[in-house]
Amino acid sequence: MGAVLAHSSFFCYLICMKKILITAFEPFGGERINPAQAVLERLPEAISGAALYRSVLPVSYRKSAVLLLEQIERVRPDAVVMLGQAGGRAKITPERIAVNLDHCEARDNDGEQRIDSVIDPEGPAAYFSTLPVHAMLQEMRKCEVGCAMSASAGAFVCNHVSYEALHYISRMGYGIPAGFIHLPYLPEQAEGKPGAASMPLSAMVHAVQAALAAIADSF
């Protein structure tokens, strides 16, 4: 009987845990690694009582948001955190705004280029992140890594999925906090790129864990 009760209690614990859906992108732009995916693979199963559900997204305008929205429906998370690479940035940067625009000279991994293309003609011009970004920054700074707020996620696939996620959550009335975090190059990516900033993987993992803890503690 004791074993049955213990099993039941553990099952209830799993069911009752808060859930954070965290996504990252595959490599793109000729890179063999994406720091976001590398961080995702090294995160624990749970942080501050919240279970982490992971998903790697394709760097594709057409496919990325479709997969992300499917994951939101499958997991029914209490928060959505999206990670991506921002080569050239020296700091980890939570994004404050996602804009209703796809515009980048670079092509996605399907070879598609979008210039001055509205994501949703009926959607608002932008959404603010609904994550507790200030609390996240406060906790990340305790890790003694470079981090700062960013007002622009650009207009490539990172911004695209951030806008699509926030727009979907708003339309569905889910009330799920969601937002995007950009990560610098890894040191091995910065090799051969004069002046390119980078950050060790261990530092990024530590900082992202701190940000996730701040999110979990805000529930």
- At residue 202, the pLDDT reads 98
Q: Which two tokens stand for residue 131?
A: 């994550």
pLDDT 10s digits, 120-144: 999 999 999 999 999 999 999 999 9
Q: pTM higher than 0.85, yes or no? A: yes
- At residue 5, the pLDDT reads 46
- At residue 14, the pLDDT reads 53
Spatial contact of 214 and 139, defined as CB atoms under 8 Å apart: yes
Q: How many CB atoms are closer than 10 A to CB 30?
A: 5
What are the C-alpha distances in Å from 166 to residues 73, 124, 175, 214?
14, 11, 10, 20
Q: Can you say whether the dihedral through the CA atoms of 85, 91, 96, 97 is positive or negative?
A: negative
Spatial contact of 71 and 165, defined as CB atoms under 8 Å apart: no
Q: How confident is the model at residue 10 (pLDDT cuts 50, 70, 90)?
A: very low
pLDDT 10s digits, 152-175: 899 999 999 999 999 999 999 999
* Element housing 69 (H / E): helix 61-75
- Scored b (16 or more CB within 10 A) or e, 54-70 reads bbebbbbbeebbebbbe
| Chain mean pLDDT for the chain | 94
- Domains of the chain, residue spans: 18-217
For the annotated catalytic residues, the residue numbers are 95, 158, 182
| Pairing label, strands 97-99, 126-128 | antiparallel
CATH of range 18-217; options 3.20.20.10, 1.10.150.20, 3.40.630.20, 3.40.50.12280:
3.40.630.20
